[in-house]
Amino acid sequence: MWSPDGTKFVIRADRNGDGYPDLAIMNADGSNVKLLKAGSATVKVTPRSWSTR
């Protein structure tokens, strides 16, 4: 999901292969990847919308 200004996007991906997708944010060019929340058997992560908070 793209940020309103188009400079960043949020992805949901199983980056470590454990079967539980994580939520991460990165710059539009793919640089500066930061984990927002790790997925697990008890934590389901899905990007919904951007907030100004």
Q: Give the DSSP letter string of 1-53.
A: -B-TTSSEEEEEE-TTSSS--EEEEEETTS-S-EEEE---SS-----------
Domain boundaries, the chain: 8-37
Q: What is the pLDDT of residue 53?
A: 61
Look up the pTM and report it.
0.73
Report d(CA 32, CA 39) in Å as an integer.
20
pLDDT tens digits, residue range 7-43? 999 888 887 888 888 989 999 999 999 998 888 878 7
Report d(CA 9, CA 21) in Å as an integer.
16
- With bands split at pLDDT 50, 70 and 90, how would you rate the model's confidence at 52? low
Q: Residue 50: is its pLDDT beyond 80?
A: no
Q: What is the pLDDT of residue 38?
A: 85
